[in-house]
Amino acid sequence: MGDRFNRMTDKHQDFVRRQKIFFTGSAAPTGRVNISPRPTDVFRVIGPNTVAYLDYLGSGNETAAHALQLPRMTIMLCAFEGPPRILRLYGTPHIHPKGSDGYATLLADHYDNRAPRNARKIVLLDIDMVQASCGYGVPLFDYVEDRKSLERWADNKSDEELRAFQDEKSRTSIDGFDTGYRDPILQK
């Protein structure tokens, strides 16, 4: 079962900062469970019980839909190089859409007020349990570099094309659940 903690220790935080990828897991009371890989350059340790990540526009918006229905989420990080380790962060997600006051505050405080054009929200996780386990079964991989495909895709779109894509892909989950997405330009 691994070791359990009520917060991230300094050692856990150091481990998190050295990883290149993390995975988010969420679910609603019904429907599909969602697991998504994400690059750690968007991940921030805010404190021993709080982390956040900048979320980019993509083909779905499952975490937001699940957070509205059943606010729980797991973030998992695995050591794919170096000593084996798995770290899971369990807690309550809070969705801060682009254009909201929470988004603006988090962006200023933790992202130097910089986000790519295709950023759509910041997800903040209030951690209530940390689990560390051996990771002996995690394979070793060599990190090469982050993919630039999503950035290039967004850079080749006009602002209106990005808004239209987000409007189509961000309003409902694959199970048809509302995600809470509202066009940030129209909210102002």
pLDDT in tens, 139-187: 999 999 988 898 899 999 998 998 898 888 889 999 999 999 876 654 4
Number of domains in the chain: 1
Query: Does residue 53 sit within a domain?
Result: yes
Query: Does residue 187 sit within a domain?
Result: no
Spatial contact of 38 and 158, defined as CB atoms under 8 Å apart:
no
Domain of residue 10 covers 3-136+145-181
Nearest one of 72, 94, 64 to 166, comparing CA atoms:
64
Q: CATH number of the domain at 82, please.
A: 2.30.110.10
In this structure, what token pair is assigned to residue 173? 């989950």
Query: Does residue 163 sit within a domain?
Result: yes
Distance of CA 17 to the CA centre of its chain: 15
Query: Does residue 186 sit within a domain?
Result: no
- Give the global pTM: 0.93
Distance CA 21, CA 28 (A): 24
pLDDT in tens, 85-101: 999 999 999 999 999 99
In this structure, what token pair is assigned to residue 24? 């988010």
